[in-house]
Amino acid sequence: MIAYVKGKLAATGLGWAVVDVNGMGYRLYVPTQPEPVSQGQEIKYFTHMAVREDGITLYGFLQEEELECFLSLLEVAGVGPKVALAVVSCLKPEALKAVIACGDVNQLVKVPGVGKKTAQRILLELKDKLKGPVAVAGTIEVINSPTGSEDEVLLALQTLGYGQNEARDALKKANDKHLGADVASLIKAALKELAPAR
């Protein structure tokens, strides 16, 4: 396993880079964002090596946190390296964690190759793995989520196809009527609140 590649940036393009390490050029697939260094300068990429029947592919990231997000995304059912790389390209680690923390499907579906179902799976499967700030009104603000159980209820409702706002309204009503209820009970109560709307 290659943990990182360090050398001179020999060439770069949209989504790829070649690093010259002592005369050997390593081609890596990288996030499609401007490089902070120019050709010929020293650079270090933290890497993930994917071995498949048709070849070996290296993915490179300038930050370890980007690599961690990429690897976490690969664990989500239906998310391959291409989609995971697209997500990391569009959302920096802190932004991705904020999107996951607030269950923002709309931000994820803006990423090329990510549909609504894939976005919902990412939110559901990574909510406990990638924890971070919650995005509020288009900004990222570090706040403490009220309770983990409320997050679970919201994600469950959104996975069932309800919008974020209607899910929050239903959860609030369910909470008012069933204070201190467990997750399963809150989901049932919230679904009852939503039933007339459907």
Mean pLDDT of the chain: 82
What's the chain's Rg over C-alpha atoms?
20
Residue 176 contacts residue 193 (beta carbons within 8 Å)? no
* The pLDDT value given to residue 177: 83
**Is 13 a residue whose pLDDT tops 50?**
yes
**Is 186 a residue whose pLDDT tops 70?**
yes
Distance CA 148, CA 12 (A): 43
Least confident of 22-36, 69-83, 178-192: 178-192
The pLDDT confidence band at residue 134, using thresholds 50, 70 and 90, is very low
Vertex 145: Cα angle to 142 and 147 (nearest 5):
165
Among candidate residues 8, 53, 52, the one with its CA nearest the CA of residue 26: 8
Fold of 64-144: DNA polymerase; domain 1 (1.10.150)
Paired residues of 121 in beta bridges: none
Instruction: Centre a 10 Å sphere on the Cβ of residue 20 and count the other Cβ atoms it contains.
Output: 16
Written as one string, the DSSP assignment of 161-188 is T--HHHHHHHHHHHHHHSTT--HHHHHH
Vertex 67: Cα angle to 29 and 96 (nearest 5):
105
> CATH 1.10.150.20 spans which residues of the chain?
64-144
> CATH 1.10.8.10 spans which residues of the chain?
148-197
Residue 31 contacts residue 89 (beta carbons within 8 Å)? yes
As a whole-number percent, the residues of the chain with pLDDT over 70 amount to: 83
**For the whole model, what pTM was predicted?**
0.65
The pLDDT confidence band at residue 1, using thresholds 50, 70 and 90, is confident
The pLDDT confidence band at residue 143, using thresholds 50, 70 and 90, is very low
- Cα–Cα distances in angstroms (integers) from residue 171 to residues 112, 153, 193, in the given order: 31, 7, 8
Token reading at 31: 């996030």
Which is the CATH superfamily of the domain at 148-197?
Ubiquitin-associated (UBA) domain (1.10.8.10)
* The pLDDT value given to residue 145: 34
Residue 134 contacts residue 141 (beta carbons within 8 Å)? yes
> CATH 2.40.50.140 spans which residues of the chain?
1-62
Q: Which residue has the tokens 């939503």?
A: 194
Q: Find the mean pLDDT for residues 99-117.
A: 89
For 95, phi and psi rounded to 5 degrees? -70, -40
The predicted-structure confidence for 18-40, as pLDDT tens digits, reads as follows 999 999 999 999 998 756 678 88
* The pLDDT value given to residue 34: 59
* The pLDDT value given to residue 17: 94
- The answer to whether domain 1-62 has CATH 2.40.50.140 is yes
Token reading at 36: 């902070």
